[in-house]
Copies of this chain bind each other. A is one copy, B any other.
């Protein structure tokens, strides 16, 4: 379970609260909005992820004795602030896009309402969770699109921070990854976990056949044998010899995969193993996956590119004060992207049910047939509106993403750089 999260915070949030407590502005009713000014270069959509994780960590955002002692040790000695923090629990409201929803520039992904002091404190934690998880989910969704009906396996834990790895496995599952190598993601979120062996296991043994025999003896003939430690062709022959034609799969982790997959398929067929699947790994990203669409491949294992957001490791969301005591506010020098006031948002659709626009407005939106409200209540009076356990919340987000994916226009899933899949209309 998450432990205390109150120090996963930027110091300036505390200094702002201290100053606001002193001059009486801390209690002003405020609305903060989370949104992305733009998508990463050429991306056609983003996917909201992390909302469920945020609801998990929010109750742990409390300042206990240890946290307060830490602050004192760091020179935060303002007695009024420390007293206030000791009693702090977020008691406001949060609304936002359902987890798994698509988002576009300016989409009001999350809205936090409360007193200035209680709401400003959450800025860093909210952004850390949403920026990381949404970056991974957005990249993962492109991989799922490229893989079409073939399953994708998340195996990138080793390429990112050990805790980020768990969140990355969760975000990948959310958009349709079939499984993950990460055991903690299995424990915490019910993500199916898979894994068989590495090259080290083959090298441990006196020869490849001994390694394969050991693996099959323990994991059964349905296992996946890694055949490229020495020579791929010989590896495949040995694999079928050892496991028989019922061998579940072989894994190719190096070489020119499109040609290698063709020759591996031919060889497996000629060895009487036409049902043995071919899983490819080796530094795949959405483009490499697309490049394998015509190859006889049965599944993709994705690591580095997934957990680093395939070139866009953070979603670039910001947390901005948009309303104070009912009055819209905005930093002036930032230009038109900052619009004051609490936002409403709907997704507009054509008669066939295909999404055509994101309509965002600081007032009520003129309704049209087929509009779908995008903003849902997440927290009321500090309490989560979701009674779901973490694994259930993920399953619901996954189902929501799948439903919404069916409403997106086909061009959304082109991998080439382009404009946003649908336009955002600021009414």
Contact = CB atoms under 8 A, between A and B. Distances in A.
Interface of A: 3, 5, 7-16, 18-20, 22-23, 25, 28, 30, 32, 57, 70-71, 73-74, 78, 116, 120, 123-125, 127-129, 131-132, 155, 157-167, 181-184, 186-187, 193-201, 203-205, 210, 213-215, 217-219, 228-232, 254-255, 304, 307-309, 313-314, 316, 319-321, 324, 329-334
Contacts of A74: 183, 186-187, 193
A195 B161 contact: no
B197 A19 contact: yes
11 contacts: A15-B197, A19-B197, A23-B214, A28-B204, A70-B186, A116-B200, A120-B200, A161-B167, A199-B320, A229-B333, A313-B313
A204 B22 CA distance: 14
A71 B155 CA distance: 18
Contacts of A163: 8, 161, 163-164
A137 to B, nearest CB: 13
A157 B218 contact: no
B165 A8 contact: yes
Counting every copy of the chain, the complex holds 2
Contact of A8 (B3, B13, B123, B157): B157
Contacts of A332: 229-231
A249 B294 CA distance: 60
Contact of A19 (B9, B18, B57, B217): B217
Nearest to A131: B159
- The prevalent SS among residues of A at the interface is helix
B187 A78 contact: no
Nearest to A218: B19
Contacts of A14: 183, 195
A279 to B, nearest CB: 12
B320 A162 contact: no
A237 to B, nearest CB: 15
Nearest to A120: B200
Q: Which 6 A-B pairs have the closest CB atoms?
A: A12-B195, A11-B195, A163-B163, A161-B164, A127-B158, A200-B321
B10 A181 contact: yes
Contact of A193 (B11, B116, B125): B11
B157 A124 contact: yes
A227 to B, nearest CB: 10
B5 A162 contact: yes
A19 B155 CA distance: 20
Contacts of A324: 203-204
Contacts of A205: 25
A161 B128 contact: yes
A376 to B, nearest CB: 23
Nearest to A168: B161
A89 to B, nearest CB: 18
A194 B193 CA distance: 41
Nearest to A25: B204
Nearest to A21: B218
B23 A217 contact: yes
Contacts of A200: 16, 30, 32, 116, 120, 123, 320-321
A318 to B, nearest CB: 8
Count chain B CB atoms within 10 A of each CB in A5, A161, A332 and give the residue with the most: A161
